[in-house]
Amino acid sequence: MPVLKWLGRNDPFPEVDKAMREPNGLLAAGGDLSPQRLIEAYKHGIFPWYSESDPILWWSPDPRLVLFPENLRISRSLTKSLRKDYEIRTDSAFEKVMRKCAEPRRDGAGTWISEEMVSAYCALHAMGIAHSVETWVESDLVGGLYGIALGKVFFGESMFSRRTDASKIAFVHLVLQLKRWGFSMIDCQVRTEHLASLGATEIPRSEFASILMAETSRISAGKWVFDHDLVE
């Protein structure tokens, strides 16, 4: 039976195949949320997820939900939403997006994004590694998402919507731009019907790790600027 590893400040992560089956993917606890620790985690398919009353918990579930950009599915209803008046911005309100993702939702999700998490990912944003994609209607931020880009992989963290399809609109623009930039994969972590409806699919953790090894070796940082002709 796997034993949960407690990380000291400079301890490396255990191999992801040491993660527990129940709860699925729990790998380690402790450590910190320094930029170096987070980058190392994501490069190996590991992410932090924990409540404020818990220590930092690190996860690598099996299987892994991913979306290959060429597999994006856009429904008829979403196509109609993409024709409405809105503006897509990138990296203009990163912290605000995080805080809106952290607000309680009807399903109870969202509150795991603590002040510690906000500070940690804002530090990555300042380094040009974490990014936000935002849906604006006039002066209102009505939807968006944030995550981390390493090499040719984007690791999605969370999204929010305050109008119908607002987060999906941001996601579609993200996928289309990443496809144009030659990204190979978007990590969606664990299965949800919302993401599956957009074309995300589950793959074995071993396959996911192999893709990361090939695609995250070279990291480019900087503010994102999307093309304006992504949606016809």
Looking at residue 13, its pLDDT comes to 97
How much of the chain is helix, strand and coil, in % rounded to 5? 30, 25, 45
pTM higher than 0.85, yes or no?
yes
Looking at residue 177, its pLDDT comes to 98
Tell me: do 177 and 207 sit in the same domain. Answer: yes
Domain hosting 18: range is 5-61
Looking at residue 2, its pLDDT comes to 65
Looking at residue 198, its pLDDT comes to 96
Tell me: do 25 and 136 sit in the same domain. Answer: no
Tell me: do 165 and 188 sit in the same domain. Answer: yes
Tell me: do 46 and 111 sit in the same domain. Answer: no
Residue 84 has a CB neighbour count (10 Å cut-off) of 12
Looking at residue 109, its pLDDT comes to 53
Residue 137 lies in a domain: yes
Per-block mean pLDDT, blocks of 10 residues, the chain (232 long) = 84 96 96 97 97 92 97 96 96 98 71 91 98 97 98 97 96 98 96 93 98 91 95 85
Looking at residue 219, its pLDDT comes to 82
Looking at residue 21, its pLDDT comes to 94
Number of domains present in the structure of the chain: 2
Looking at residue 53, its pLDDT comes to 83
Tell me: do 83 and 183 sit in the same domain. Answer: yes
Looking at residue 34, its pLDDT comes to 97
Residue 224 lies in a domain: no
**Cα separation, 31 vs 38, whole angstroms:** 10
Looking at residue 218, its pLDDT comes to 84
H or E element, residue 130? strand 130-137
